Homo-oligomer: A and B are copies of this chain.
Amino acid sequence: MKIVCIGSGNVATHMANAFKENEADVIQVWSKDPANAATLAFETGAQAISDLKDIDLNADLYLIAVKDDAIAKIARFLKEVNGLVVHTSGATEMEVLSGIKNYGVFYPLQTFSKAEPIDFIHVPLCLEANTEENMSLLQLAAMKLSPLIYEVNTGKRKVLHLAGVFACNFVNHMYRLSQQIVEKQGLDFEILRPLIMETAVKAQNALPEDVQTGPAIRNDKQTILKHEGLLQKSPHLQEIYRILSNSIKKTR
């Protein structure tokens, strides 16, 4: 399977490397920045290009892993290719690629950071394609990386992307606020890490609604008042504390 990787950011880097390690042939890496293209191309044994006109027309799969608002522009340069063109965005409809013959979406529902390696067997891949044949091809490609393969249409994918903001981005922000709270007292964030881990582990085996703990779910007004008192000098944290405690109470 010959793959062209369009983009050299976080997602592009992890995907191109994962494909390379799993018996796919990354033949080209495009980035508008030649140095970035060269870096990822070097890692994956591909050719680096920075002009979209140089894209090989005969690859099997074209992975567009760029910022959402750049996808449509790039798609215009891919009308002549013979293979399957997919973007990797959670929030963008598949039809942005409809000027192309064979197209689809290859959305990894995971958080990537450039520094940290990620094992793709823990990355759910959400697939969408314009024909059944293209879906089959996409599944074959996905199976090289992960056993977690889901067929998800544009509407549901957008909802998953939104849910990911709650399950990942907002969760990390809660970690951040807890860090702020302990550091203000000269305590190290380290002491909270086992609690953070256990909370995530619990959600692997149970539904979050069944394992909610804390003063709000118990309606423990005394503790809630004590906590609000501790946050007196941080009105911003106090507001978040109140809103989320009330939200938990609603789900009791």
> Interface residues of A toward B: which range?
35 or more
- The chain A residues found within 8 Å of chain B, CB to CB, are 68-69, 91, 109-111, 113, 116, 118, 122-124, 126, 148, 150, 152, 155-156, 158-179, 181-182, 184-187, 189, 191-209, 211-217, 220, 222-223, 226-227, 230-231, 236, 239-241, 243-244, 247-248, 250-251
Contact pick for A111, options B160, B169, B198, CB 8 Å: B198
Q: A231 CA to B180 CA in the complex, in Å?
A: 29
Q: A184 CA to B163 CA in the complex, in Å?
A: 11
A194–B148 CB distance below 8 A: yes
**Given pairs A116-B205, A158-B230, 18 additional interface contacts (CB within 8 A):** A91-B223, A91-B227, A118-B198, A159-B187, A166-B178, A167-B192, A169-B215, A170-B214, A171-B199, A172-B199, A173-B244, A173-B247, A174-B174, A176-B209, A177-B247, A196-B204, A240-B244, A243-B243
In the complex, what residues of B have CB within 8 A of residue A156's CB? 185-187
State whether A181 and B166 are in contact (beta carbons under 8 Å apart), knowing that A223-B91, A230-B158 are contacts in the complex. yes
State whether A169 and B214 are in contact (beta carbons under 8 Å apart), knowing that A208-B175, A251-B176 are contacts in the complex. yes
Contact pick for A208, options B69, B176, B191, CB 8 Å: B176
In the complex, what residues of B have CB within 8 A of residue A227's CB? 91, 161-162, 165
B214–A168 CB distance below 8 A: yes
Closest beta carbon of chain B to A58's beta carbon, Å: 34
Closest beta carbon of chain B to A120's beta carbon, Å: 10
Q: A116 CA to B199 CA in the complex, in Å?
A: 12
Give this chain's copy count: 2
7 A-B pairs within 8 Å (CB atoms) are namely A68-B222, A91-B223, A156-B185, A166-B175, A167-B178, A172-B211, A175-B208
Q: A178 CA to B170 CA in the complex, in Å?
A: 10
In the complex, what residues of B have CB within 8 A of residue A199's CB? 111, 167-168, 171-172, 200
Most chain B CB neighbours (cut-off 10 Å) among A206, A208, A212: A208
Most chain B CB neighbours (cut-off 10 Å) among A175, A185, A217: A175
Contact pick for A195, options B111, B182, B251, CB 8 Å: B111
In the complex, what residues of B have CB within 8 A of residue A175's CB? 166-167, 171, 203, 208
